[in-house]
Amino acid sequence: MPTIRINNCNLYYETRGNDQNPPVVLLHAFPLDHNVWRPQAEELSKEYWVITPDFRGHGQSEATDESYSMDLLASDIKDLVENLGVKNIVLGGISMGGYVAFAYRRLFPEDIQALILVDTKAEADTPQARLGRMEMAGLVVRKGVASFADRMLPRLFSKQSVETNASIVKDARKTIEAMSPIGIIGGLKGLADRSDSTPLLDEIRVPTLIIVGERDELTTVDDAKRIASRIVGSKLVIVPNAGHISTLEQPEKVTSAIQTFLRGIQLQQRASPV
């Protein structure tokens, strides 16, 4: 799959499906990559053109030595979809991908015809959470990426998934340990400094699906309910037996929720062929 030079960074992305179908762009979580969406991308590609990029510093994209602000990451995605010749996208994001989706909506609202927000929240980090991210950055510097992975993995998946689905945890560890310290620190800084997107919620008027794992301890069911209460006409789905990365922990349930949502709204086809 291709890499494209955008904003002085080589970004990796994958596409699936017929490029004349409605485009669905799916943004991944920190500190993982596009593969958090693989089960959904494979199924959705039967009806949609699915685009799954790796953010800078993540997966197979280049790590640049800077803070990865949500606005920077959103601008990267904007340039990617423009280079692919698409408009009127369905934009989905899980965790940090959701934060980037909010930034994209703030910067480029005319591009989005529907939103999918998974295991994310609108609020900025609390001062305590910012300190925690800086502590994590220090851990990477002092003890390396493997120690960072040890700290992150129990937060990403429910205890049940850790105990019964070793393969997804193993794959996530492999993804994290393949990251460069520069990429991890850039991501942590960007997350810590992100703005509060709560005021944006009242402005969103496109069809919106909100999904959250019932056992998500990082972005909780209450966080998702607050988003749903502010976005007019939004739909909330709570996924049983899933933690923070519900797309991998309960892939069939998440895929089914997204399919039902997308089939229930009117989507535009490709606006401008490549």
Residues in the chain: 274
- C-alpha count within 13 angstroms, C-beta hemisphere, residue 247: 30
Tell me the Cα Rg of the chain: 17
* Domains of the chain, earliest start first: 3-263 (3.40.50.1820)
Stretches in the chain below the pLDDT threshold 50: 271-274
116 within 8 A of 92, measured Cβ to Cβ: yes
pLDDT at 237: 98
One-letter amino acid at 80 equals L
pLDDT at 161: 85
200 within 8 A of 227, measured Cβ to Cβ: no
One-letter amino acid at 37 equals W
pTM summary value: 0.96
* pLDDT tens per residue, range 109-149: 999 999 999 999 999 999 999 999 999 999 999 999 999 99
Cα→Cα distances 197→24, 70, 97, 123, 203, Å: 22, 11, 13, 6, 11
pLDDT at 198: 97
pLDDT at 273: 45
pLDDT at 271: 46
pLDDT at 274: 42
Helix axes 181-192, 96-107, angle to 10 degrees: 60
pLDDT at 270: 61
